[in-house]
Amino acid sequence: MIGSALSKLTLKVKGWKLEVNPEAVSDPKNVMIGFPHTSNFDSVLAMAAFQILDLNYHILMKKELFRFPLGPVLKSLGCIPVDRAKSKNVVQQMVEEFAQHDRFTLAVAPEATRGKDGEKRPIRTGFWHIAKATNVPIVLMHSDVEHKIGRLFAKVYPSDSMENDLLEIKRLYAAYGVEVIFASKAE
């Protein structure tokens, strides 16, 4: 309750509003992706939204951030350290995490590190592999920086075609003026 009140205050002070399609967050387990990823403050705003929605959220972060004294704080906030050099193990690690919980939201910023000078890079598709392996939907979140609106607006259930699912995600984000770039045939 305190976390939710503090989160609402954080959004209000920063001038942000939250728009949620209830259907998008109706499943107890999901992988949530968000665009655009503009700064590390995106994570703070996302965590505030997750607190307000009472989601059992977790965020993947590079393991280098988990050194003392920040490590214990990040873990208490639901952050999970990831060794980016061993990314193939992340899917299995997340399968095990999802299996241990009745409610579990994994938030991922597929753009990862932004390019120099605002260069848009192709997104990473690990979120799709995690959602497919755990049989959960992918919830789409949009950070409208210009209007200061955070949106959780749709979900996509992974099919047997990653390419088709990525094209659907691209189409749904395009409705909000967000260009999602893929490094696959889905382009």
Model confidence pLDDT, tens digit, residues 122-149: 888 999 999 999 999 999 999 898 999 9
Could you tell me if residue 182 is inside a domain? no
Residues whose CB falls within 8 Å of the CB of residue 27, separated by 6 or more in sequence, listed in order: 136, 137, 155
Could you tell me if residue 180 is inside a domain? no
Residue pair 36/111 in contact by the 8 Å Cβ criterion: yes
What confidence tens digit (pLDDT) does each residue in 57-72 have?
998 888 898 999 999 9
Count of structural domains, the chain? 1
Whole domain around residue 100: which residue ranges?
Answer: 2-174
The residue ranges of the chain whose pLDDT is under 70 are 1-2, 40, 86-88, 112-119, 184-187
pLDDT for position 186: 45
Single-letter amino acid code for the residue at 148: K
What confidence tens digit (pLDDT) does each residue in 104-114 have?
999 988 875 55
**Taking all residues of the chain, what is their mean pLDDT, rounded to a whole number?**
88
Could you tell me if residue 56 is inside a domain? yes
